[in-house]
């Protein structure tokens, strides 16, 4: 499994795309899920193929069962000083990868705001010239978190570098403002980062979906962080009410030692914040784009702020229907 990931990662660094951005073998004709680039043309390689043992991947009627042979993969190699160089380099570009997995299920428990109302106002989706792409689509709309309930998250900061937690709070605020989704911190946790983390942990969190886990980790804990990769992230979705798919939980894992090194640089705080926002973008459903003016570009060319396409995509992801 990890051998497959490393092989994909090497290929993607060579080809200049993110390690977990896999498009290809999704069963033809499935009416529920697809992926497209919103820069004006569909993704050149076809539909998205979710493959992960993070969840069991049971059938979603009438779709076939999802394959289950891959863990989370969202990767960010250690950034170097930005230069006008677009070819990926192992330690010289912020090559980031996105991976969202889908769990089939029915009758998922969802806690919503009174009356099914949004917890915060939806941001305006203003058409523009930027590029954005969604991790998953269904019926022509992106898979999203439920805007009528908070995205609850816990943080394992045991290995967090000095200043890391404060920067994480800023990054969460940036994504919350851009989406209109409310993030609710449940505080610190001793839960260990695990790339095969289940979407539900009855013993720890009860029958509801587990909160998002944000954790600083080591490559020994999360093999996907080996080498130049400094962060992985993604979300898992379940069927709600037998129809719509909805993200219900997720992970963001950050390489503690590499983040400490980045923070020693003159531009370290800006770089760290950008990586966090990028990974949180994957968490809420944004995929990579081919536009270097966007933060969701797969390489680090000095962009540390959300671009116009990033903002359009995040606004759309925050404008899902309440379920």
Report which secondary-structure segment, H or E, holds 167: helix 164-179
In a domain, 245, yes or no: yes
322 part of a folded domain: no
Helices 256-263, 268-284: axis angle to 10 degrees equals: 140
Is the residue at 323 inside a domain? no
Q: Say if residues 228 and 91 touch (Cβ distance below 8 Å).
A: yes
Residues 49-60: pLDDT tens digits?
233 322 222 222
For residue 287, give the nearest of 318, 322, 259, 314 by alpha carbon: 314
The CATH number for 180's domain is 3.40.390.10
More confident residue, 295 or 78: 295
Confidence of residue 301 (pLDDT cuts 50, 70, 90): confident
The total number of structural domains in the chain stands at 1
| pLDDT tens, residue by residue, 104-131 | 232 333 334 444 788 988 888 778 789 9
Specify the pTM.
0.70
| Residue 227 belongs to a domain | yes
Q: Is residue 152 part of a domain?
A: yes
Q: Where are the beta strands (DSSP E) in the chain?
A: 101-102, 137-138, 141-142, 151-156, 183-188, 212-217, 231-240, 244-255
| Span 165-202, pLDDT tens digits | 999 999 999 999 999 999 999 999 999 999 999 999 99
The domain containing residue 99 runs over which residues? 2-317
Closest CA to 213 of 246, 237, 189: 189
Domain annotation covers residue 208: yes
Does a structural domain hold residue 211?
Answer: yes
**Cα dist. 266→5, 81, 120, 263 in Å?**
32, 10, 36, 8
- For the chain, percent of residues with pLDDT exceeding 90: 51
């Amino acid at each position: 499994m990890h051998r497959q990931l490393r092989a994909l990662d090497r290929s993607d660094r060579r080809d200049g795309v993110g390690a977990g951005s896999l498009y290809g073998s999704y069963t033809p004709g499935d009416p529920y899920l697809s992926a497209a680039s919103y820069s004006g043309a569909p993704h050149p390689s076809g539909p998205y193929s979710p493959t992960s043992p993070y969840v069991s991947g049971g059938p979603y009627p009438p779709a076939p069962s999802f394959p289950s042979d891959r863990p989370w993969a969202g990767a960010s190699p250690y950034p170097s000083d930005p230069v006008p160089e677009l070819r990926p380099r192992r330690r010289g570009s912020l090559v980031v990868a996105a991976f969202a997995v889908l769990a089939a299920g029915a009758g998922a428990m969802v806690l919503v705001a009174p009356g099914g109302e949004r917890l915060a106002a939806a941001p305006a989706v203003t058409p523009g010239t930027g590029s954005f792409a969604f991790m998953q689509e269904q019926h022509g709309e992106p898979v999203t978190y439920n805007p009528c309930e908070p995205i609850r998250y816990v943080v394992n900061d045991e290995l967090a570098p000095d200043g890391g937690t404060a920067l994480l709070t800023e990054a969460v605020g940036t994504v919350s403002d851009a989406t209109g989704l409310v993030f609710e911190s449940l505080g610190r946790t001793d839960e260990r980062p695990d790339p095969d983390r289940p979407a539900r942990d009855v013993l720890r969190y009860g029958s509801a979906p587990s909160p998002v886990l944000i954790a600083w980790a080591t490559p020994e804990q999360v093999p996907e962080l080996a080498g130049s990769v400094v962060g992985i992230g993604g979300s898992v979705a379940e069927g709600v009410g037998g129809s719509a798919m909805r993200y219900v939980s997720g992970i963001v894992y950050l390489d503690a030692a590499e983040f400490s090194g980045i923070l020693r640089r003159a531009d370290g705080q800006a770089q760290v914040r950008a990586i966090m926002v990028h990974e949180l973008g994957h968490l809420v459903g944004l995929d990579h784009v081919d536009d270097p003016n966007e933060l969701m570009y797969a390489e680090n060319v000095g962009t540390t702020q959300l671009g116009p396409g990033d903002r359009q995509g995040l606004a759309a992801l925050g404008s899902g229907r309440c379920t």
